[in-house]
């Protein structure tokens, strides 16, 4: 398992659009993807799970990936966040 701490810079945070984009990207990998925020853990492949975490702009989250393609998954998801959820 690998982990990365990253700040959400999108002006709204994890809302419907950004959660959907993140979950869609995470679902392309075999690795399990989880987001940890404020002692809560959400499934990174579930839009609803991400939205319930309450992540806002400038909040810091931990992305956890576990599986055969965990490094590629984490790098891709980090890039998505750094680009404010633009492909």
User: Known catalytic residues?
Assistant: 15
- How far apart, in whole angstroms, are the C-alpha atoms of residue 52 and residue 67? 24
Which helix or strand (DSSP H or E) is residue 79 part of?
Answer: helix 70-82
- How far apart, in whole angstroms, are the C-alpha atoms of residue 77 and residue 70? 10
């Amino acid at each position: 398992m690998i982990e990365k701490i990253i700040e959400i810079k999108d002006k709204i945070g994890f809302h419907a659009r950004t959660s959907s984009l993140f979950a869609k990207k995470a679902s392309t990998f075999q690795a399990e993807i989880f987001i940890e925020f404020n002692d809560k853990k959400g499934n990174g492949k579930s839009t609803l799970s991400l939205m319930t975490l309450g992540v806002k702009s400038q909040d810091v989250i931990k992305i956890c990936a576990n599986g055969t393609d965990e490094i590629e998954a984490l790098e891709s998801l980090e890039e998505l966040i750094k680009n404010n959820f633009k492909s």
